[in-house]
Structure 1
Amino acid sequence: MRILLVGAGGVGDAIAKIAARRDFFEVMVVSDYDLARAERTIAWVEARHGAQRGRFVAARIDASDPDSVEAVARAHQATHVMNAVEPKFVPTIFAGALAADADYLDMAMSLSEPHRTDPYAQTGIKLGDDQFEQAPDWEKAGRLALLGMGVEPGLSDVFARYAADHLFGEIDELGTRDGANLVVRDEMGAEIFAPSFSIWTTIEECLNPPVVWEKDRGWYTTPPFSEPEVFEFPEGIGPVECVNVEHEEVLLMPRVLNANRVTFKYGLGDEFIGILKTLHQLGLDSTTPIRVRSANGPVEVAPRDMVAAALPDPATIGPRMTGKTCAGVWVTGRDPQGEPREVYLYHVSDNEWTMAEYEAQCVVWQTALNPVIALELLAGGVWSGIGVLGPEAFDAEPYLELMARPVADGGYGQPWGMEDRLAR
């Protein structure tokens, strides 16, 4: 396996660091528009693990240009293109990978467009629609595009598949629930606003109309931040208010898994929701460039890009962050014997540990872990397929076994949890 990693930001950097401890691939080309950033990632890997006989190579790439993606992939004989940049680049990387005759993985799907006249009740273009429409092209080429293979989506979909195969005979709801008790402080120790993930992506997810799926209704939308509920997260995180947010799981799981309802809710908090609402009211969430006067004359800049540039880079806040983040799926329904059942399957990432082991903050590290596991399963032929698929299309058991198996025994040493909520 020869991997072209597109993007050496927070998640891409963590992917390379996690992969450096594994031996399932021949070469990983760490590429970025900023070559120096890719080189910094490789320098960290070599400082920790040695030169590794050229297994890691830096390259410059323009993720907005499919020809650039194809050219870099072909130059390095890439068998797999791993997309680790913002979802606005999905169409070009997706096209470049197929043109290079390579398999493709991402962690966020092609962007949605709200319904023009009824955005808070009906879907328009849904997340991933553009990619799934191209499935015949990938099938004809005999290549695999594995979409949404991060933590959420990704691990959440693996949990859902495991629940469907092993825990339930009938599923009422597959509810992804994400919460954390993370705190970021400035140099003086005061708590500050510093999102732990790309603000560009967060704005996209949180201000678009959330999507819900119901068997009798199909996909429909609601207003942002709808249906608040307090969810109890494990391992000391505790109760967090979660709200509906647009997310890929709702668009992926119903394609394969049989459930009456699929939802995604995220623990944002009142402050974060207030900031997002203010950005929207001021038009600072827009991706349409506007003309701005500067000392060097007029320039055009997208307001959302300006917001992202003004906030701390999520990849750099790890040393000032404390706490844990939890990703999981709350499943309700009946077990194979017909008895009521309610479980929460989850994985918790502790910032203190990820910083000590990888110098990566816990949210980006937890996201990065999952595509590396998926790539290893693909490399070994445990997972295989052609066309455009999500993680729930694959057997969850070998994935979760490899993830939880101790490092000394060849695994990733990341146990996952399962709580029976009816027993409480």
Structure 2
Amino acid sequence: MSARKFAELGSVEQLVIADAVPGRAQALAQQIGKPHVHALTLDAGNRDTLARAIRGTGSTLLLNAALPATNLVVMRACLDAGCDYIDMASGGAENDGIPKLTDQFALHEEFKAAGRLALLGMGADPGTSNVYAAYAAKHLLDEVTELRVRDGDNAVCEGHTGFLAYFSPWVFIDETTCGAISWHDGAYHLEPALSGREVFNFPELGNLTVYHVDHEESRTFPMFFPGLKGADFKLCMDDTTWRTLKVLKELGLNGKDKVRVGNVEVAPRDVVVSLLPEPSTLAGKLHGKTCVGTLCRGLRDGQERAYYIYNVTDHQECWTTYGVQATAYQTGLPPVLAAQLIASGEWRGTGVLSPEQFDPDPFMRLLDASGMTWHIRDEQTGAIDPAYIWVEEPMAA
């Protein structure tokens, strides 16, 4: 999705798609079919090779859409080659060798000294969810006290009745079966995996059951919103999904370390992932909608207020218009918009930064202009986009 949107931008002189799997990047470049789009077979885990490729192609910005395990290697390759960096996810709470946000933020001074920008977690959530929080702090609340991301999906899939993941199954299993970071009482806390059951009313989707999931927003919100009293992330799961993940965790089938089976060694999670459909193959088969939003609580004129800022995207509409399912669209579009703002200078900065550190208005304008319409629900009245919430023009510079 990101590659296709980048290819549509007139400001992009050259787009290089790279993948470790031979032929996959080339196939996508051929599908796009534009002369300025090229492809490379490249291992994102090899710093020197990647840095040479960045220099050789003259690239000025790299979007890392690989697994979070590659983040630090790719960031350092960007430093070596003098290139800006964007990713869409980081490692979870477990000390498992996968780079965490703290590891990435540790490179802040190096990026700053190099005059380069590394923008972390710029997908749907994290990404738009962080910008929604910044928007609430700028336009809706005088003081922000709670930020809670709620992610829902009511889709059913043709031909599938069991456990599915609409984005990377490896990442999905990773973030749902480890402990989940939350923020309360002035400190970070680790919530048990698959805990915190709550029924949340999603606009257009209705009531869905959500659970604690480890996510980047729970770490960054307390860093950049002083005085925050509560922050967490919860994702909807139906009973089948919740039970399956519970069993995977209890049996160790979510494990990343290899175990010996007969004459071979294999990671249990890799076996599970190999048995699941690749998310891109689900496009066109999903019927329903997905909603990603941030519930923002705080004070306005001394009174308690709460607003849910969100986007609802229809799976079938995305398939008809873009040839992808809604989750891929919601995740793939935001980094392209962020890249536009960085290139235009509307988002400026050096070092390692998070989306909520930037002015939200230019991004929110681009979201609407790109068809990813966002809305605000007043949690006290239930009104959607009520005129009375605006003190000034919401998109004023």
Query: How would you bin the TM-score normalised by the shorter chain?
Result: over 0.9
Cα pair 1:87 1:111 within 8 Å, conserved? no
Partner of 1:204: 174
Partner of 1:245: 213
Cα distance in 1 for partners of 2:76, 2:92 equals 15
Q: Are 2:381 and 1:423 aligned?
A: yes
TM-fit CA distance, 1:288: 0.8
The secondary structure found in structure 2 opposite 1:129 is helix
Partner of 2:391: none
Cα pair 2:75 2:85 within 8 Å, conserved? yes
Among 54, 76, 91, which residue is 2:57 paired with?
Answer: 76
- How large is the Cα RMSD of the aligned pairs? 1.7
Cα pair 1:355 1:361 within 8 Å, conserved? yes
The secondary structure found in structure 1 opposite 2:148 is strand
Cα distance in 1 for partners of 2:37, 2:116 equals 24
Cα distance in 2 for partners of 1:271, 1:148 equals 29
Among 203, 217, 226, which residue is 2:186 paired with?
Answer: 217
Q: Structure 1 residues 87 and 125 mapped into 2: Cα distance closer, same or farther (>3 Å)?
A: closer
Q: Are 2:71 and 1:94 aligned?
A: no
The secondary structure found in structure 1 opposite 2:319 is helix
The secondary structure found in structure 2 opposite 1:319 is coil
Q: Structure 1 residues 126 and 225 mapped into 2: Cα distance closer, same or farther (>3 Å)?
A: farther
Cα distance in 2 for partners of 1:342, 1:111 equals 28
TM-fit CA distance, 1:185: 2.1
What amino acid does structure 2 have at the position aligned with 1:276?
A: L
Cα distance in 1 for partners of 2:318, 2:8 equals 14
Partner of 1:313: 278
Partner of 2:295: 330
TM-fit CA distance, 1:127: 3.5
The secondary structure found in structure 1 opposite 2:52 is helix
Among 354, 366, 371, which residue is 1:413 paired with?
Answer: 371
Cα pair 1:91 1:110 within 8 Å, conserved? no
TM-score by length of 2: 0.92
TM-score by length of 1: 0.86
TM-fit CA distance, 1:371: 0.2
Cα pair 2:146 2:296 within 8 Å, conserved? yes
Q: Are 2:260 and 1:279 aligned?
A: no
Cα pair 1:184 1:192 within 8 Å, conserved? no
Deviations, residues 24-55 of structure 1 (Å, cap 9, x unaligned): 22111000012311122112212xxxx2xx32
Partner of 1:233: 202
* Correspondence 1:240-389 to 2 at 5 A: 240-258=208-226, 259-293=228-262, 298-335=263-300, 337-389=301-353
Q: Which moved more, 1:251-260 or 1:391-400?
A: 251-260
Cα pair 1:144 1:385 within 8 Å, conserved? yes
Q: Structure 1 residues 31 and 125 mapped into 2: Cα distance closer, same or farther (>3 Å)?
A: closer
Cα distance in 2 for partners of 1:234, 1:223 equals 28
The secondary structure found in structure 1 opposite 2:284 is helix
What amino acid does structure 2 have at the position aligned with 1:241?
A: T
The secondary structure found in structure 1 opposite 2:144 is strand
How many residue pairs get matched?
Answer: 381
Q: Percent identity?
A: 36
Cα distance in 1 for partners of 2:260, 2:208 equals 40
Q: Are 2:151 and 1:194 aligned?
A: no
Cα distance in 2 for partners of 1:69, 1:157 equals 29
Cα pair 1:180 1:325 within 8 Å, conserved? yes
Q: Which moved more, 1:59-68 or 1:385-394?
A: 59-68
